[in-house]
Structure 1
Amino acid sequence: MTRAYNFNAGPAALPLEVLQRAQEELVDYNGIGMSIMEISHRSREYERVNEETQQLFRELLEIPEGYKVLFLQGGASMQFAMVPMNLLRPGTTAAYVDTGSWAKKALAEAKLLGEVQVVASSKDDQYTTIPDLSSLELSEQTAYLHITSNETIGGIQYKSFPDTGDVPLIADMSSDILSRPLDVSRFGLIYAGAQKNLGPSGVTVVIIREDLIQPAEHLPTMLRYSTHADNNSLYNTPPVYSIYMMNLVLQWIKENGGLAAMEKRNEEKAKLIYDVIDGSGGFYRGVAKPEYRSPMNITFRMANEELEKRFVEESQAAGFVGLKGHRSVGGLRASTYNAVPYESCQALQQFMLDFQKRHG
């Protein structure tokens, strides 16, 4: 079997070992004579998976006491609305940092639900940077500050996080969660769609400080964090298979050295490609400013769209998948999430060097 060089931005690469284990267990999970997709979510077998997956998150991220780990549905896009629905109260204002496509989507949803203020933006830099938040001052009426830790489309990442004092810091970490160590205690709420670093699509992880979980009786039942926290993410039928797969991915991360090892490996993988860009004499041009470059999503351009089209076509013929940039911005993008092998990045490095030789 020949595996593609998978650089898709999401749904994205999964560890081969995880896929093989899931394949082995697909028809008969743990000797129960059924697939895990067939069993009741109230069964002991699934409850064990649910608890173990939460515990793996707590262990890998060193989540302190006073936080809940929730498994929800609707993707990060649902969280764009659930966060202000649950946390933005009358008389308060939500603060947002505008860093690009996904930050803008979160901002647009919040504007439908209450008072919102954009406290910093990198729009004037064409979203190639992260704004300096070191002198940011938030009023006592600020309900929370929302950031997008890694912009999948623009290829920029926060290298440090702002100190918000008593104001809860909320982060969409869909595209870089579990890619590096993190001090969870600095955040009020973290959310992430699974389909990039955690597993297949279908489940969204929410890590929320318990004091932010309010009854919120004015909201539909399914849109309250309290509903899911009170029921251990089992209020309704959860996306059982997605959570099972996420469990396997978390085990894989643990077995491969945890988050410190993931960070080191991700930096090494990204460097292979960024070095080609920087050493190409302008043949390849990085989109993000170097100090804000994402190790998860490497964005770059070439002299013209015709050359970029040829790059995509030739890369596909050579077994590479997912190198076309997002439709909203064009260009090229290589997403090098945790599960993308080092060898795939080496292969892309060699392809890029060869392409430049032939077309430079």
Structure 2
Amino acid sequence: MTETLKLAGRDLFWPPADELTEAAERIRARLGDWPPTHVNWRICLTAPDDVNGGDLIVFTDLKQSSEQHLEQIARWMTQGAGVIEAAAGRAVLHLGGVRYQLEGHLAEDWIAALAAFLDCGFDPHDALVLALAWRDGDETKSDDAWPCDISRFPRVAGLPDAPAQAFAACPDALGIYAVLPTAEWVERVASFGVKTLQLRRKTAEPDELKREIARSIAAGREHDACVFINDHWQAAIDAGAYGVHLGQEDVHTADLHALSQAGVRLGLSTHGYYEMLTALHFRPSYIALGAVFPTTTKVMPTAPQGLARLARYVKLLEGVVPLVAIGGISGDVLPQVLATGVKSAAVVRAITEAADPASAAQALQKAFLQQKV
């Protein structure tokens, strides 16, 4: 048993289910040490009389689609509870006003596995992904039974069609990836020899934005560097950019087909397993994994992932798609980040707020070289 494993003393299932608790403990004992979960979720096999914000109410009969049933789900959600409908290779989680749809394998022990992954601190939508990647008996095959075979993972349903062809490839090892606020910074850092850069210009008038993008792209060509444009995908296409970086919400609004046809590389942000699967659906050029550490450069939708999760993500996706670690990464922690096996790390303040940006960039690049030795 791990030191953080305290399932038996908790109200883990409703109604109480000794066999499920025993199975959850057995699985949890093979998943390694994780910080204590911030929410003691209770998995309800029947609807409790008093629903609370830590309840996940499970239905295994998806035929219940009456208007009354849907109204009941809506009421539970307003009380902070979540609802999982699962049957016939499909699981739908309703939580926080969001509907998470997955298609994949439902093992006999999937509910016990769900409880175990929740205890590892994963949010319900990511814990559900892992539960569908679980196979009965996995806990008997290895001291570390964490799912790491991408072919076993479910797929996200209900997504827009992906472009007919995958996005253009970019280097598997992008190295130091400098995320910069202006074209002037892109020009400076490109001159330091950094080969992967991103212009993240959040506010600018249309004409000024065009000039900033054009300058950034020109700097990339001059210094043989890969320059990505954050968010402004249409302007990036018009200017002939090497690549574009988008957030999860942008895949529903950006014209990904136009980006693909233009040969523009695509990077997508992710903050956990569910978003990784969403990103993989669109076959991007790379996936960003974060935020690894707390960051002040933007408001993050999730808590910091940490190095242990990053290592799991890299093990799952290495060789599948290029990966970029992002979020709060400084020169002090970069060696620990690289020790997870990730081949690229995005930095912001580590360069732009350094007393000597050129020396800071050189030191960051040196860390990558040392990692290869």
TM-score, with structure 1 as normaliser: 0.30
TM-score, with structure 2 as normaliser: 0.30
